[in-house]
Structure 1
Amino acid sequence: MHILRVANFVSPTSGGIKTALRHWGQHYQEQGHRASLIIPGPGQEITEEEQGHVYRVPATPIPGKGYSLIWGRASMSRLMDAIAPDALEVSDRATTRWMGRWARRRGIGSVMISHENMTGIMVRRTPVPDRPAHWAADVVNRLSAHDYDAIVCPSEFAAEEFHRNGLAAEVVPLGVDLEVFSPVTDPSARRPPGPGEPLRLVHCSRLSPEKNPALSVETVRELVRRGVDVQLTVFGTGPMLGELVRRAENLPVVFHSYITDRRELAAEMGTAHLAISPGPLETFGLAALEILACGIPVVCCDEGALHEVVGDGGVIKPSTPAAFGDGVQELLERPGAHERARRTAEDFSWPRSADHMLAVHERVRQAVG
């Protein structure tokens, strides 16, 4: 089977979607399938990678967002015709929805992966009131379900907005590279901070409003108010970086330069005692899972899908600095917290996730064929 993947929200500094695409593509190839990928690029470029052929095509930048969108239907249709896939996998429900109809006209199966929660985006990131926002999200989701042969979501939270309308959506959890993201060997990193040693916290996510990174900074402010010797290191970049730097003035917060190498990122994060993951709209929480795999317990919010991933590997709290501060102090006193974090992460793997995706494609192919 030749699987063509298309994704819009992929950039040099993007996280979860890009990571999932890479691991799925590599596994597809290892299992004897062909994988191709079309993503935005500054210009036309084709590369051969472990995940298959990658086509970078001209795209229009979104001001202030760090992403670009592929708009040209005619040129994209010609490129997709030239690639001639047996199956289509699209990681975007809006600007590329026409691709489901493209696949149907050519008699091949199509799968749309919903990496975001449309309802949450409408409610939190637009001025539309809650009830009309739900209606608008329902319309978009019904159109997606009509145009594609199957819908895949990475969590029950992401799938709920389809299920509430009686639409089928299969949950395929993402994975984690348990070799790259693994606990550091230094046993001192697993003990609570001693006298004169700060409590080392990490935050890892894109610095954008839907991730609510300001909550991590405000949690540090709360801990300082309580007399806790703490230091937070923020890994990530995004449109809120300047605002967060200003907010963190006079607080023990360090903003680390962006790290592209996954092993380097794992090594840097692995020296922390605890992590904070406040994203209320996370439809999976890959960064939190990678932190758990390093054996670092996580304080996460009770919104979105994070609780589905963190589980026993951390604590789940309301999205307030006081509640997150309580969570930090609870984890410091929890016996075996680091071991439980690692065991939680071991329930997820990329081969298992990719095999599940292949099963979806095979089922769709049989239904279409």
Structure 2
Amino acid sequence: MRIVQVANFYGPRSGGLRTAVDELGTGYVRRGHHVTLIVPGPVAANEVLASGVVRVTVPAPVLPFTGGYRAARFASVAAVAASAAPDVIEVSDRLTLRRMGVWARERDVGSVMIAHERLDRLLGQVLPRAVAQTLADVANRATARDYDKVVCTTAFAAEEFDRIGASNLCRVPLGVDLEVFHPERRSAALRDLARRGAEHLLIHCGRLSVEKHVHRSVDAVALLRDSGISVRLLIVGDGPVMRKLKRRAEGLPVDFAGYLGSRAEVAALMASSDVALAPGPHETFGLAALEALATGTPVVVSQRSALSEIVRAESGALAPDTAMGVAQAILAVLDLPAAQRRSLARERAEQFSWPHAVDGMLAAFVG
């Protein structure tokens, strides 16, 4: 089968979306399929990745206020897709490239849209809830109509499509690299270096953008410090709210590592931490949190996000969407026996694999 993957907002420093697209593409190639990945970039390029995926970069402008993300124009992407003569297209962009579904149908090409975000939640950050939901419903009806299948990774992600009665939904959980993200990467020396004399090391890993609510991790540390709890927070990642976060964290036991290009380095920091934080209420899956679990590090997550479906009480905690709620959840996790919480965190992550995700996507392609 000839598969074309299409993804805007895919760049050198992309987070979960890039990981998902790359891992799925690699899995398709391993199953004997031919994969072309079309992404935006500064200049045109055509390369064969080590995985066997053919990655075609389409020149695209930088979108303002996004921290460097680019979005290729529909016409440019459609032209490359046509040259690849696909049997099916997988689109990881429900906004700027939504028309790819109609394009595919006109050419008798199968089409699948992966909903990587909750549109109603994103719109709800700038619009009244009722307005955001109405606009999201209109857009989601068009998406469900235009694509053969809409793939959601969790029940949380599927809620807005269930609300409009979409009948072409598929549930396909994503996976985690259980070899790169492994408890054996835990290092006492690295932990001592990172915690800088504090008793407990916390880590927040991911893109520093508004919807991730990284400020809640910072504010929770402030509350813990004021309560006499010795913690240090390491924030790994970059993004448009970096400067605001640094100002907010002044005088607090918070360090910023910036973007780290080495997955092994990120895995080692995760494994060497005591608790990972993912307080964003809009996560539709939360790959960074799952990667932390895979290293044996329990996770504190928002009780309103999809991570509430993934994190179990034995391997982390669900927190209300307040700094106090996050702080209390951190303390609850730290009260669990360390060996037990680390073992159960890894055990939970092992229930999510990329081969299983690939199976689910391939079933959606032919179903």
Interval of TM-score (by shorter of Structure 1 and Structure 2): over 0.9
Deviation for aligned residue 1:320: 1.3
Tell whether 2:363 aligns with 1:355: no
Matches of 1:183 and 1:308, distance apart in 2: 22
Deviation for aligned residue 1:339: 0.9
2:230 is matched with which residue? 229
2:203 is matched with which residue? 202
The structure 2 residue matched to 1:326, chosen from 314, 325, 328, is 328
CA-based RMSD of the aligned residues comes to: 2.1
Matches of 2:30 and 2:78, distance apart in 1: 28
Q: Residue 200 of structure 1: SS of its match in structure 2?
A: strand
Matches of 1:295 and 1:153, distance apart in 2: 26
1:343 is matched with which residue? 347
Deviation for aligned residue 1:171: 1.4
Deviation for aligned residue 1:77: 2.6
1:7 is matched with which residue? 7
In 1, are the aligned partners of 2:186 and 2:269 still within 8 Å (CA)? Answer: no
Whichever residue aligns with residue 170 of structure 1, its letter is C
In 2, are the aligned partners of 1:23 and 1:51 still within 8 Å (CA)? Answer: no
1:117 is matched with which residue? 118
Whichever residue aligns with residue 165 of structure 1, its letter is I
In 1, are the aligned partners of 2:101 and 2:111 still within 8 Å (CA)? Answer: yes
Tell whether 2:181 aligns with 1:177: no
Aligned residues: 360
Tell whether 2:248 aligns with 1:247: yes
Whichever residue aligns with residue 233 of structure 1, its letter is L
Please report the TM-score for the alignment, with normalisation by the length of structure 1: 0.94
2:105 is matched with which residue? 104
Deviation for aligned residue 1:5: 0.6
Matches of 2:123 and 2:16, distance apart in 1: 21
In 2, are the aligned partners of 1:4 and 1:85 still within 8 Å (CA)? Answer: yes
Deviation for aligned residue 1:264: 1.3
Q: How does 1:1-369 map to 2 (within 5 A)?
A: 1-49=1-49, 50-65=51-66, 66-73=68-75, 75-124=76-125, 126=126, 128-168=127-167, 169-184=169-184, 197-312=198-313, 313-335=315-337, 336-363=340-367
Matches of 2:80 and 2:343, distance apart in 1: 48
Q: Residue 280 of structure 2: SS of its match in structure 1?
A: coil
Select between 210-219 and 295-304 the one with higher mean Cα deviation: 295-304
Matches of 2:72 and 2:142, distance apart in 1: 20
Whichever residue aligns with residue 7 of structure 1, its letter is A
Q: Residue 227 of structure 1: SS of its match in structure 2?
A: coil
Deviation for aligned residue 1:97: 1.5
Q: Residue 238 of structure 1: SS of its match in structure 2?
A: coil
Deviation for aligned residue 1:234: 0.3
Structure 1 gap segments, 5+ residues each? 364-369
Q: Residue 334 of structure 1: SS of its match in structure 2?
A: coil
Deviation for aligned residue 1:289: 0.3
Deviation for aligned residue 1:64: 2.1
1:367 is matched with which residue? none
Matches of 1:282 and 1:77, distance apart in 2: 29
Select between 210-219 and 98-107 the one with higher mean Cα deviation: 98-107
Where do 4+ consecutive residues of structure 1 move more than 3 Å? Answer: 184-189
In 2, are the aligned partners of 1:220 and 1:232 still within 8 Å (CA)? Answer: yes
Whichever residue aligns with residue 328 of structure 1, its letter is I
Deviation for aligned residue 1:185: 6.0
Matches of 2:184 and 2:217, distance apart in 1: 24
Select between 224-233 and 307-316 the one with higher mean Cα deviation: 307-316
Matches of 1:51 and 1:167, distance apart in 2: 35
Please report the TM-score for the alignment, with normalisation by the length of structure 2: 0.94
Q: Residue 170 of structure 1: SS of its match in structure 2?
A: strand
